[in-house]
Amino acid sequence: MSKESEGKSFEYDVVVIGSGPGGFEAAVKAAQSGLQVCIVEKGAIGGVCVNWGCIPTKALLRSAEVFRLADDAGPFGLGIDNAVVDVAQAVKRSRRVVLTVSKGVEYTLKQNNVVLKRGECSFIDAHRLEIKREGKVEETISAEQCIIATGGKARELPGMEFDGKTIISSREALAMQAAPGKMLIIGGGAIGVEMAWYYNAAGSDVTLVELMPGILPLEDADIGDGLKRSLVKAGIEIINEAVVKKAETADGGIRAVVGMPDGSERVMDADCMLVAVGVAPETEGLALEKAGVETEKGFVVTDERCRTNVPNIFAIGDVRGGMMLAHKASAEAAVAVKGVTGKTCEPVDDTRMPRCVYVEPSVACVGYTERQAAEAGFDIRVGKALFASSGKANAYGHRDGFVKLVFEAGTGVLLGGHVLGYGAVELIGEISLARSLGVTAEQIAETIHAHPTLSESIKEAAEDALKDL
């Protein structure tokens, strides 16, 4: 790409704002396309995902698995007496993992000759940006193209703003040095459920409040119902169709008034309250209005190819809304870089985007739920296989859960796949590939799967869908 545009020369071909999964991927792909690239990051390298999201969460959830394995080790032939949960050590390990991954991101940027600049970035106009450090403008840079990848932040509730101690976001939840005696969690989405499972495993008395009739309300109803049964069995109290009306500090903790499903009110006392009700876009301070970039409720407005209303500016990841997933941001990065280089490619298809929740049993889904497929007008066939019937699941000692596959009845093409069970997040790869390639129930059923494996349940679910044919 020429660095001349309308008679103006630019310092860089592309400036990427944000070094999370989307920004990192965009910068590397653009550099590998032969462009001169600069990436600007105001926080730790790797963005929220690496430092305060995906990576530390999964490291802590791995600790939770170990906590539970220690409790259940007896039947496997290992006697563990007087095991002590050390949350501080688990957090310390998670931060080591974060540091390793963050350094890996920085190394890869350097290897691809991406210029890394630290500081807060804001637009002067559509091609020029200023970088502040400690509140002072330190330098101005220019670019022919710009990709906004600033991500998101935890959404606050009015009257229940974060104080970092008694009313907390997931960021504080990932750094607590001891498990609270009682924890109240608002929100039954992925973050709320994962934190509930972790702190329950660490010894906290956890209550989770969700406004909708089920947890993980955007997933297949069978998934939410099945996971709720498992979490309740583990000792987590889950209250659906309830809302926290108000919360205030009391006796060093939090006192919340919860509107219950029957219309009554229940006062709950806890050491802290985690608010996990969604993600807000991280656009504050970007001065998007100076570049003429359109926003809606804070999110950057884009078309399906990640283009904003300003021809040379793109946006990817959480900042543009939609599914808040790291791998979605990475997929959108590829689309944006194609646009930057003047090429076109197919936009990201949300029905081919896997979605995972890393609790135990874990959740992994892709494509249409049974209800969504019916509402979209498809004539469907559904197949299901229980892990209770799986030899490998029984050998592992993880019998909860199932594989559920939704097919179009006429063609047999896979519309959606939903897994609840041990190893679900690894099994979803096969189902995602099948969804992307338009594979049929018959093709999955005819594919030889190794025995004994958890993946046999995918084959058995496809066979179940075909049983009446």
- Catalytically active residues are 451
Buried residues in 292-327 as b, exposed as e (16+ CB within 10 A): ebebeeebbebeebbbbebebbbbbbbbbbeebbbb
Is 218 part of any known ligand binding site? no
Q: What is the dihedral of CA 131, 133, 136, 142, to 10 degrees?
A: -10
Is 71 part of any known ligand binding site? no
Buried residues in 370-391 as b, exposed as e (16+ CB within 10 A): bebbeeeebebbbbbbbbeebe
Helices and strands (DSSP H and E) totals, the chain: 14, 26
Give the total residue count for the chain: 469
DSSP one-letter code for 266: E
Is 450 part of any known ligand binding site? no
Count CA atoms closer than 13 A to 157's CA, side-chain side: 19
Residue in the structure block whose two tokens are 């194609």: 338
Is 210 part of any known ligand binding site? yes
DSSP one-letter code for 390: -
Within 131-258, where are the H helices?
170-173, 190-201, 221-233
Structure tokens at 231: 């979490």
User: CA 95 to CA 174: how far, in whole Å?
Assistant: 10
Is 324 part of any known ligand binding site? yes
Is 120 part of any known ligand binding site? no
User: CA 262 to CA 264: how far, in whole Å?
Assistant: 6
Is 316 part of any known ligand binding site? no
Is 259 part of any known ligand binding site? no
User: CA 167 to CA 161: how far, in whole Å?
Assistant: 7
The DSSP line for 166-177 is SEE-HHHHTT-S
Is 257 part of any known ligand binding site? no
User: CA 131 to CA 127: how far, in whole Å?
Assistant: 13
Is 187 part of any known ligand binding site? yes
Is 325 part of any known ligand binding site? yes
Is 327 part of any known ligand binding site? yes
Q: Which of 286, 272, 275 is CA-nearest to residue 151?
A: 286
* Residue 66 · residue 198 · CB < 8 Å: no
Is 160 part of any known ligand binding site? no
For 113, phi then psi, to 5°, come to: 60, 30
- Please name every residue paired with 115 in a beta bridge, in sequence order, or none if there are none: 38
Q: Which of 97, 115, 109, 120 is CA-nearest to residue 43?
A: 120
Is 339 part of any known ligand binding site? no
Binding-site members are 58, 187-194, 210, 278, 318, 324-327
Binding-site members for NAD(+) are 187-194, 210, 278
Binding-site members for FAD are 58, 318, 324-327
